[in-house]
Amino acid sequence: MDKFPIQLISWFEKFGRHDLPWQKNRTPYSVWVSEVMLQQTQVATVIPFFKRFMRELPTVKSLAAAELDEVLALWAGLGYYARARNLHKAANLLVKDNNGHFPQTVKELMELPGIGRSTAGAIVAIAYNQQASILDGNVKRVLSRYHAVEGWPDKTDVKKKLWGLSEKHTPTDRVAEFTQALMDLGATVCLRTNPRCIECPVNSHCVARQKNLQNTIPGKKPKKKRLSRKICMLLIEDVHKRILLEKRSTNGIWGGLYSLPELSVGQDPVEWCKKTLGLKITSQKVMQKMNHSFTHFDLNIHPLLVRLDDVSCQMVDHDDRLWYNPAEDIQVGVASPVATLLKSLQSTGE
């Protein structure tokens, strides 16, 4: 008999996390939202976002009925916005094709946008307590170490092996608890650096521990040269001190969020504003540069504050543009470096 799930579940009863907000009043919908939020984000960061999201959009139907702008505003600050767009798209598909009912199998769930095999497994296991396996980042680390599987866990052959091991250990009973336990072990004991092996419930059979390989397993991702891009962001200020924001296309970075107009570094802002927006700039001031890191590249932002003459303020009329007063709370989703720039205007009294 496989001791792994038994040891893990009895450890979870005593030491696991039982008071996370998504563990209360659990529904397939709340499990789905929490799992998607947790995909690339730490538990402590997710908690306030999850509470606010569930308060505003408590059901699949309410999510489907919301405007994408509202969903993105609730997500603003959590990053990886494709997750929010996919949640919204999936909720609309469920309402349209399934009367708002939630699928109950891994296969059906994986047909929805933004739900991969591990997220689908977590939903089936946690929401329905049905046998299904998971393999998120924490679980990859635990299983790689427990079985001393060498190599980068996202390499195709290594990942395939880890999926096999995850399936082998998944019990038929108490699947929800087992799944939570496995996630908790990775998050609180089998840590990336300095795992707390003494406290670990499965330490007696952990091969990495026996061979003292905890710090070399899992293997690291092969390094690629990091790319970087430079852009100039314009903070266009009208005579009422409002800043022009424009909505980005739904594709690409910060898709669907509001942001600042962008031009190439070195391009003449006076010419650009006149040609693109029909606006006349009366003064310009260089602001402090900032960097923003994405998974695959760094964005070097060169912000420029430009002021308009009185007449120009009337001239921006477009569905996807709005004038925003930085002294007021923002009602639309904005990219986080843009929020930082808007705040800096306030604090410097520009």
- Residues interacting with ligand SF4, by CB under 6 A? 142, 145-146, 189-190, 195, 197, 200, 202-203, 206, 208-209, 214
Based on CB atoms, which residue is closest to ligand SF4, 207 or 339?
207
Q: How far is the CB of 123 from ligand SF4 (least distance, A)?
A: 25
CB 143 within 8 A of CB 162: yes
Burial of 249 (0-12, 13-18, 19+ CB in 10 A): exposed
Q: CA-CA distance, 320 to 283, in Å (whole number)?
A: 25
Catalytic residues: 35
**Residue 261 DSSP class:** -
Q: How far is the CB of 211 from ligand SF4 (least distance, A)?
A: 10
Q: How far is the CB of 142 from ligand SF4 (least distance, A)?
A: 5
Q: CA-CA distance, 266 to 24, in Å (whole number)?
A: 53
**Residue 273 DSSP class:** I
Q: CA-CA distance, 154 to 59, in Å (whole number)?
A: 33
Question: Residue 224 is which amino acid?
Answer: K
Q: How far is the CB of 71 from ligand SF4 (least distance, A)?
A: 37
Q: CA-CA distance, 95 to 269, in Å (whole number)?
A: 46
CB 153 within 8 A of CB 138: no
